[in-house]
Each structure stands twice: as structure tokens, then as C-alpha cells.
Amino acid sequence: MLDYKFVVVGSGFWGSTIAERIASVLDEDVLVIEKRGHIGGNCYSEVCHQTGIEYHKYGTHIFHTSNRDVWDYINSFSPFNAYRHQVLATWNGAVYQMPINLETINAFYKVNLRPYEVDAFLKKEVQKSDLPNVDSLENYSISKVGRPLYEAFIKGYTWKQWGISPQKIPATVVKRLPFRTNYNESYYESRWQGIPETGYGAIFKKMLSHGRIRVLVNTDFFDIRNDLPENARIFYSGPVDRLLDFRYGKLEWRSLKFEQEIKNVSDFQGTSVMNYTEAEIPFNRIHEWKHLHPERSVFSGDHTLIAREYSLNGTGQEPFYPINDKKNQALVEKYQHEATLFPNITIGGRFGEYKYYDMHQTIANALTVFNTMKHGE
Ligand code: UDP
């Protein structure tokens, strides 16, 4: 019998935040159950033994937030470096700024527009397309930048990432990216950003290091569910369809595969993330991990570690991205409704809610869930 009043399923940021708060604030024991062999979910990082370079096992994760409570909370586990995320895109043998900004537009059209000239310039392109609505990622993007820029930088990349037509993807997916008519090259608009100096792997270790927390890795919640007390308060961040035995069918996910390689040069691509936006190139981006930690001594070493990122159908793979189409949205709503029948289970995180959350959003949500529980609501 695992005699715990509080049980957390999954040790990503949502689960780890809730477990940490229960232990530190409520001074209660909490059991964390993690299916994988490591904590941290898809935000986990570790150091490559051969190169000494820390890499993000599930793709580059930049911490960014405008929420002061979240920033203060996460900084209490590690100082953050001054890294500012900038992304570049290779298209047709040349490198461009991404998200699309004035530099992208000027380089692409070989012009020298000023910010106040961009709208009128792009309007001519936008007007060439018939856009009855801007609900889809494709129509929305064309309405913003016109078809040529859309086809160069968005269409191929989006097809590769999602495996479905950009006409079937909601505009919200691309609204994550700003579109700018100035030279601002920052990927995010958040007030605070950086990479934990100690690394993500270390941050999770610290969050879960409290003496009141017990972590079981390589453990499937569904294998030990019957060993838990019937009235245990469960915080579940696994996929919601599994919780309900897939009774209405499986939710679909996109997954990623990383092909890691050591290069015997100090700097391979000059930046942490290079997108490849053409459909003909089979991978979506190349990550070069050392650029995330310019403050570390390995930064100047004479070799580097890179990873090519490929998108895959998520069936039988680790889930990464919920597929935000109508079919999956309808299914998740059914599951979420049914899950309310378990009053002792709270569901959260990207997998649990089937939402395209960033790290800061899952932490904010976990802090709210914890505070609501603490106040007995
Ligand atoms: N996107 C694109 N071209 C790019 C980068 C992004 O078309 O070079 C689109 C694509 O549809 C993607 C969405 O913008 O799914 C959101 O990109 P983001 O970088 O936020 O995705 P993540 O980092 O979460 O994979």
C-alpha cells in the first residue's frame, strides 16, 4: 500500500510545481509517479558525456514569461542566464529572420522598406488572394504577409510539423508568433526570459528534492493505481484519454524525433535554432545546444553538439503537440466532461488538458490549482 494523501502523476512543470508546493507550503508528504526513467517530462535536459554540452532531450526550451509570480517562483530554484531567443530560417539557400520582420521582408523582396511603408507594400500581395475568412492558419498567415512570404516561411514548415494541410489548422497555432514591421528580432515578447544556469534537469531535481517528496520513476500510474488509498487527492498530468481507458477513442498527437550529432567545429550554425522552412528538406530545425549557455566554458570548446528535429505522427511515440483540429477538440471536450466525475482527480499540464501550453503557462496554472486547493475551494 502506498499510503499517500497527495499523489502527483507526471513530473513535468505542472506536476513538479504542485508537488513542490504541497511539500514546502503544506508540509505534507506527496508521491510523484513518473512513467519515464527521468523527471521533468518534455522539458528535461541532461549533459552529453562525450562533449560536456547540456542538451534538451525533447527540443529547445526557452523559459519566457510576463508573469512576475511565475518568474519569481522559477528563479527560486536556479539563477537564469541572459540568453535571448532569436530564430533564423534557411530558405532557398539563404538565411532570414524568423518571425517575419522588416529584415525578412526587405531581404526576401530585395527592397529597403521603412516600417511605415510595409502595410501598403504587403497589402498589394494580400489582395491577390481570395480569403473568405481568416480562421485557418493558411488564410490568416496570407492575410498578414501575402502568399509569397507564406509559401516561403510558413507553408512547408507547417506541413512538416503538423502533417496536415495548413487549411485544417486553426489560426491560433501561428498567432503564437508575432509578425513585425520593425527590426526587432526577439522570438518572444515576454518581459522575462532565459535558460536556467543550472540546466532544466537540475531545476527539476531541486524542485523535487524536498524531504516530503518521494519520486517513483519508471512507474506507470495505471499499474499502481490500486495500491493508492481510495481517497487520495490525485493531480494527473498524463493524457486525459488514457485516464478514461480511451473509451471514446484516442486523442491524436504530433511527436518529434531528434537525430543528434557531434561536429568537430566550435560553432556549427552560429545560433541555437535554425529553421528549415522548405517542404523538400525532411527536418524542421537544427538545434545547436551550446548557444543556450554562452556563460559556460564548453561554449568555446572545439566541438559542438547538434540535433536535427523531425516531426512524426504521434501514434506509439512520446506525445509532444496536441493537434488542434476540430475532431480532436470535440473528443477532448468529451473526455474533460467525463473526467469531472472523479472529484478527487485534478487534471492539468499540456498532456492532461490537451493544450499547446508553454512552460510558464503550466506553472501559472499549477500555482493557481495549488492555491485554490489550499484555500479549500
Ligand atoms: N511556424 C512556421 N515557420 C517557422 C516557425 C513557425 O510556419 O519558421 C509556424 C508553424 O505552424 C508552427 C507555429 O508557427 O507550428 C508555432 O511555432 P513555434 O515556434 O511557437 O512552435 P514550437 O516552438 O512550439 O514548436
- 118 touches 305 (CB < 8 A): no
Predicted pLDDT at 316: 84
pLDDT of 211 above 80: yes
pLDDT at 325: 83
Q: Give the ligand 1 atom nearest the CA of 137.
A: 11
Per-residue pLDDT band at 315 (split at 50, 70, 90): confident
DSSP 13: H
Region of 24 (left: φ > 0; alpha: ψ -120 to 50; beta: rest) is alpha
Residue owning grid cell 503537440: 321
Q: Whose CA is closest to 252, among 151, 169, 129, 172?
A: 169
Contacting residues for 126 by C-beta, under 8 A, at least 6 apart: 142, 143, 144, 145, 146
What residue segments make up the domains of the chain, in order of their start?
Answer: 6-39+208-252+326-374, 101-175
pLDDT in tens, 13-68: 999 999 999 999 999 999 999 999 999 999 999 999 999 999 999 999 999 999 99
pLDDT (mean) for 3-14: 98
CATH for 6-39+208-252+326-374? 3.40.50.720
Strand (E) positions, the chain?
Answer: 6-9, 30-33, 45-47, 54-56, 63-65, 87-91, 94-98, 192-194, 213-216, 233-236, 253-263, 273-276, 285-288, 304-313, 321-322, 345-347
Which pLDDT value is given to residue 1? Answer: 84
Find out whether the beta carbon of 363 lies less than 6 Å from any atom of ligand 1. Answer: no
pLDDT tens-digit readout, 126-150: 999 999 999 999 999 999 999 999 9
Residue with cell 529553421: 275
81-90, 187-196, 199-208, 310-319: the lowest-pLDDT one: 310-319
Given a contact cutoff of 8 angstroms between Cβ atoms, the answer to whether 292 and 272 are in contact is yes
pLDDT bin (cut points 50, 70, 90) of residue 377 is low
Comparing CA positions, the residue from 204, 233, 347 lying closest to residue 4 is 233
Report the nearest atom of ligand 1 relative to the CA of 89.
8
> Which grid cell sits at 319?
506525445
- Could you tell me the pTM of the whole model? 0.95
Most ligand 1 atoms within 8 A of CB, residue of 176, 185, 312, 362 to mutate: 176
Q: Is it the case that residue 222 has pLDDT exceeding 90?
A: yes
Q: Is 158 in the pocket of ligand 1 (CB under 6 A)?
A: yes
- Rounded mean pLDDT of the chain? 96
Would you say the CB of residue 277 lies under 6 angstroms from ligand 1? yes
Which ligand 1 atom is at minimum distance from the Cα of 154? 7
What pLDDT, on a 0 to 100 scale, did the predictor assign at position 206? 98
For residue 310, pLDDT beyond 80: yes
For 105, list phi and psi in degrees, rounded to 5.
-65, -45
